[in-house]
Amino acid sequence: MSYFKNAGKPFVIAGPCSAESQEQILETATALKTMQIQLFRAGVWKPRTRPGSFEGNGEQALEWLQEVQERYQLPVGVEVAEPAHIELALKYGISVLWIGARTTVNPFQVQKLADALRGVKVPVMVKNPVNPDTDLWLGGIERIERADVQEVAAIHRGFSSYKGSSAYRNQPNWAIPVELKRRRRDLAIICDPSHITGRRDKVAEVAQKAMDMHFDGLMIETHPNPDEAWSDAAQQITPQALQTLLLELVIRQQYS
């Protein structure tokens, strides 16, 4: 049985880009608990492009996320980029781990994470590398699969482009996730419209496109006060906007 594949409805992951404070985490989780969310997300270690901005609250944030899991019975997922992150996340009972786009580009680092994950029965999601390379993405997925974790899923979050050359922050290059789906029909694939678009007014249209293409799920950044967010402010949506988005999504049954 797949952790990520729901018959007929998307596996929905929501929560803020970054865990900023205990209040922000609990406020978001309270709002999301009433919706059909399968997994709460929050970044604890943030891979910022340039130094000098918020890089995450680290271990302290794991305490807040543990509270979300215990108080709301809502599983939590975090990004891990170092073996030490894996050790800490597991110490706080985090349910799901994911590998970010800037880590998937580096096979040495992915292998270090795979070695640290050996035999650990957690679901792990692997974001596509920032560059448009299906084999590199698949290679990251295979390294984690060989570690014998519970299950591996793919997250499509778009591909870097020179600024201004794409309508979105990261180009979707839909042919790449389609190729991945064709080569690995068994694999769950989740779309991240937040990091693809980089702007909240476009999140719904990309989420719908992913549903039309029979993706298995969505990861959507959600913040109680998006304009004040400490990272990715332009693309986060409120829990209320997420509820509207989910209600308006048209889900077509997969026939293949």
Which residues bind to Mn ion, rule: CB under 5 A? Answer: 17, 232
Question: What mask, x for binding ligand PEP by CB under 6 A, covers residues 3 to 42?
Answer: --------------x-------------------------
* Residues 197 to 256 in contact with ligand PEP, rule: CB under 6 A: none
Choose which of 195, 216, 217, 230 interacts with ligand PEP (CB under 6 A). 195
- The distance of closest approach from Cβ of residue 68 to Mn ion in the complex, given in angstroms and rounded to an integer, is 18
CA distance 44 to 78: 7
Terminal CA-to-CA distance of the chain, rounded, Å?
18
Choose which of 101, 144, 180, 187 interacts with ligand PEP (CB under 6 A). 101
CA distance 232 to 120: 31
Residue 107: both structure tokens together:
């096979």
How many residues of this chain bind ligand PEP (CB under 6 A)? 9
Which of 77, 239 has the CB closer to ligand PEP? 77
Of 117, 69, 115, the closest CA to residue 95 belongs to 69
157 in contact with ligand PEP (CB under 6 A): yes
- The distance of closest approach from Cβ of residue 194 to ligand PEP in the complex, given in angstroms and rounded to an integer, is 8
129 in contact with ligand PEP (CB under 6 A): no
What is the number of other CB atoms lying within 10 angstroms of the CB of residue 72?
16
Any idea what DSSP says for residue 40? E
Query: Is residue 26 within 8 Å of residue 173, measured between CB atoms?
Result: no
| 157 contact, one of Mn ion, ligand PEP, none, CB 5-8 Å limit per kind | ligand PEP
Choose which of 2, 47, 55, 181 interacts with ligand PEP (CB under 6 A). 47
22 contacts: CB under 8 Å, gap ≥ 6: 64, 67
- The distance of closest approach from Cβ of residue 195 to ligand PEP in the complex, given in angstroms and rounded to an integer, is 4
Binding segment (CB under 6 A) for ligand PEP, from list 81-89, 94-102, 136-144, 174-182: 94-102
CA distance 183 to 95: 28
CA distance 203 to 211: 13
